[in-house]
């Protein structure tokens, strides 16, 4: 016990003494580090200063500071300089591992030139070549070399630089995998370092066929499971879409730091790649004055506007992801290993009891992952689905282990854009809509599944249910009529399954409609009471003969019209909302009938409130003779304030129901018109 206490005390003392160099290294304070270590033994430089056993060299390398590394190496005896490259922390990382993560090519080049090529001489002895190769290929506890770490966490320039150094003394292939079998291209894709992945794939196209030992996934599988890397799955408002479309695809070479300028190596590597047909000529050749000025303008805006900076980073990632995707699709062969469906696309009008209890057979299932096409359909990445269908159109026939084709998955995960994209290929879609999976479900059955439902795009629960019903109807129109009678292995038709699984949503929608109709009816009755009383109370009173005193004034006629309009519209809205309350509120009513009624009720209610406030304004102006224009203006503004507030809070709801009603009317007209009339251009967005 006493020994443990002494050990802990000793460690606490050591870390107390190393706090100063640790903080100085993090702050790039080279003078303080020099003062600290110059008055201490040489071995102090090699002592760990963190709980992870990082030395000051590890911290300086991680920071990518050439100045710190220069100051520290000047204090190392010449005989021990090579030992610096062999220092490892608790994770087994050397300083080359750390500098590879920093992405600072200048710092990495300084270490290589100073420690591996002393005095700038070229390597000539076989022993030096072997030692240099061993240091560059040194692996940490996970089996990662510095090049591997650079591909995961560094930059494409660092990957190019280290690859060039490795090729001078060895082969790149030895650096392509770590202990668990994950390839260098896999790790670059996992950490979304797409520029490095593109360069590596250009360097060795065979990397595209590498599979993870654990689950057999290729890099295209991984990319297809990353919806955040693609534009089609990113939600943006109108303003951010406007900015996104006008940003350059990349920062351009003129935006890079000084790493390329001090060292012509990167440029020579790019030139060699272009000569082999592997590079990106557009990025390098696009150095026109206008484009450079355009980039610099956006770069200046990005420095002071975080939104632009984030969008630019996002667009750069999206562009690189699409480019990598195009390369992988043409080299990936995983689509050649399909799964087999257990069902034979035969409809069943009634299930036997033993058939209902039988689970899907696993006899013919393989352990292979879903194809990248099905993975992209599940995650909603339209770019990958479109590219694969263009390159390998026959891949659309694939099914997963559950016998689900691309339409099953698109409907299950509510990706309508994928569903529409596949249906554009008429010949293939006519076959796919007939698919029945291992659970006996058609594509229409999957409109009922709520497992991946995220709430839709509407704000009210009634409109959410309408969206689900419309989704059901859209899919139903794609399949033959007799398929609607098919029963799955739960002995349910698609409609029965839909009603069952949307039961809770239906109840919530019923409650919302009842409460909303009751509240709106109450407001409408109050408005009707006010305007009815105002109709028998003439502003200014009556003459002896019963004639209104202010009858001859123009505003009196306006008051009368608004009062009558307010009374009529409020009573009409009451009637509409009462018809909603007395309806059966069946689930199918939420598709067209109820949205139309609610839209009419809201319109009449809003108009009644507006008419009431206008009649109130007319009354004020009749009773108070306002000679000054600014006084009249203030009166108008005060009268319209309640209308504006009411409109501000209620207009979005009214707008949604109006749009929903118009859409249903357009759909109805399109359904009854002869021929193939395309009325989508009249459909509100």
pTM score, two decimals?
0.80
pLDDT at residue 164 in the model: 93
Element housing 143 (H / E): none
Please give the C-alpha separations between residue 319 and each of 109, 185, 309, 315, 383, in angstroms, as whole numbers: 29, 18, 15, 6, 11
Contact assessment for residue 612 and residue 527, using Cβ atoms and an 8 Å cutoff:
yes
Note the pLDDT tens digit of each residue in 140-190: 999 999 999 999 998 899 999 999 999 988 889 999 999 998 999 999 999
Distance CA 62, CA 54 (A): 10
Give backbone dihedrals phi and psi of 183, rounded to 5 degrees, phi first.
Answer: -80, 165
Among candidate residues 519, 531, 185, the one with its CA nearest the CA of residue 328: 185
Question: In angstroms, what is the C-alpha Rg of the chain?
Answer: 36
Distance CA 234, CA 237 (A): 10
Give backbone dihedrals phi and psi of 495, rounded to 5 degrees, phi first.
Answer: -65, -40
Domains and CATH numbers, the chain: 10-179 (1.25.40.20), 353-501 (1.25.40.20), 513-682 (no CATH)
Weakly modelled stretches of the chain, pLDDT under 70: 1-17, 118-125, 250-287, 335, 337-367, 539-552, 623-632, 635-636, 639, 643, 646-647, 649-658, 660-661, 663-685
Residues whose CB falls within 8 Å of the CB of residue 395, separated by 6 or more in sequence, listed in order: 335, 371, 373, 388, 389
Long-range contacts of 634-639 (CB under 8 A, 24+ apart): 639/613, 639/614
Tokens in use for 341? 């469906």
Q: How far apart are the first and last CA of the chain?
A: 74
Contact assessment for residue 190 and residue 219, using Cβ atoms and an 8 Å cutoff:
no
Tokens in use for 67? 């100045």
Indicate the Cα dihedral angle 17, 19, 20, 23, nearest 10°.
Answer: 170
Contact assessment for residue 60 and residue 25, using Cβ atoms and an 8 Å cutoff:
yes
Tokens in use for 121? 């001489």
pLDDT at residue 104 in the model: 92
């Amino acid at each position: 016990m006493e020994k443990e206490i002494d050990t802990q005390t000793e460690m606490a003392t050591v870390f107390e003494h190393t706090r100063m160099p640790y903080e100085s290294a993090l702050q790039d304070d080279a003078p303080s580090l020099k003062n600290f270590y110059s008055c201490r033994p040489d071995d102090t430089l090699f002592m760990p200063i963190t709980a992870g056993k990082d030395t000051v060299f590890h911290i300086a390398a991680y920071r990518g500071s050439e100045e710190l590394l220069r100051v520290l190496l000047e204090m190392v005896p010449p005989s021990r300089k090579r030992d610096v490259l062999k220092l490892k922390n608790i994770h087994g990382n050397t300083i080359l591992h750390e500098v590879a993560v920093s992405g600072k090519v200048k710092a990495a080049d300084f270490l290589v030139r100073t420690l591996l090529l002393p005095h700038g001489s070229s390597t000539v002895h076989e022993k030096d070549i072997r030692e240099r190769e061993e240091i560059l290929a040194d692996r940490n506890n996970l089996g990662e070399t510095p090049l591997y770490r650079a591909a995961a966490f560094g930059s494409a320039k660092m990957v190019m630089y280290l690859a060039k150094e490795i090729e001078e003394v060895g082969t790149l292939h030895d650096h392509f995998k770590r202990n668990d079998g994950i390839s260098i291209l896999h790790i670059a894709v996992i950490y979304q370092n797409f520029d490095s992945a593109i360069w590596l794939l250009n360097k060795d196209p065979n990397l595209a066929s590498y599979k993870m030992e654990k689950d057999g996934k290729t890099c295209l599988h991984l990319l297809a499971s990353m919806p955040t890397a693609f534009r089609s799955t990113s939600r943006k408002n109108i303003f951010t879409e406007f900015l996104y479309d006008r940003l350059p695809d990349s920062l351009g070479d003129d935006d890079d730091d000084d790493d390329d300028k001090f060292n012509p190596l990167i440029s020579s590597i790019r030139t060699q790649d272009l000569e082999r047909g592997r590079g990106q000529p557009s990025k390098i050749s696009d150095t026109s004055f206008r484009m450079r000025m355009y980039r610099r303008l956006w770069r200046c805006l990005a420095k002071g506007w975080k939104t632009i900076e984030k969008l630019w980073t996002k667009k750069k990632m999206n562009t690189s992801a699409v480019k990598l995707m195009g390369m992988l699709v043409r080299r990936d062969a995983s689509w050649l290993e399909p799964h087999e469906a257990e069902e034979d696309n035969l409809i069943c009008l009634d299930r036997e009891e033993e058939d209902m209890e039988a689970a899907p057979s696993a006899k013919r299932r393989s352990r292979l992952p879903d194809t990248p096409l099905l993975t992209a359909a599940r995650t909603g990445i339209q770019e990958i689905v479109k590219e694969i269908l263009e390159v390998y159109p026959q891949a659309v026939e694939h099914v997963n282990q559950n016998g689900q084709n691309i339409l099953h998955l698109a409907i299950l995960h509510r990706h309508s854009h994928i569903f529409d994209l596949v249906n554009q290929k008429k010949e293939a879609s006519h076959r796919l809509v007939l698919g029945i999976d291992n659970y006996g479900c058609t594509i229409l059955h999957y409109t009922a599944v709520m497992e991946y439902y995220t709430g839709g795009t509407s704000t009210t629960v009634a409109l959410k249910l309408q969206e689900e019903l419309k989704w059901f109807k859209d899919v139903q129109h794609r399949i033959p009529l007799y398929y609607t009678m098919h029963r799955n292995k739960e002995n349910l038709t698609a409609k029965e399954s839909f009603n069952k699984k949307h039961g809770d949503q239906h109840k919530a929608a019923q409650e919302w409609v009842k409460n909303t109709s009751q509240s709106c009816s109450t407001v409408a009755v109050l408005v009707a009471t006010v305007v009815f009383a105002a109709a028998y109370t003439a502003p200014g009173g009556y003459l002896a003969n019963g004639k209104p005193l202010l009858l001859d004034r123009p505003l009196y006629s306006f008051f009368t019209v608004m009062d009558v309009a307010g009374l009529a519209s409020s009573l009409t809205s009451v009637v509409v909302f009462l018809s909603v309350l007395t309806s059966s509120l069946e689930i199918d009513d939420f598709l067209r009938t109820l949205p139309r009624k609610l839209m009419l009720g809201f319109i009449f209610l809003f108009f009644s409130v507006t008419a009431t406030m206008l009649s109130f304004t007319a009354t004020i102006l009749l009773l108070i003779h306002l000679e000054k224009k600014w006084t009249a203006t203030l009166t108008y503004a005060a009268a319209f304030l309640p209308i504006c507030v009411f409109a501000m809070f209620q207009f979005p709801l009214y707008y949604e129901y109006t749009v929903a009603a118009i859409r249903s009317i357009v759909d109805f007209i399109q359904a009854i018109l002869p021929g193939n009339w395309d009325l989508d251009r009249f459909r509100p967005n």
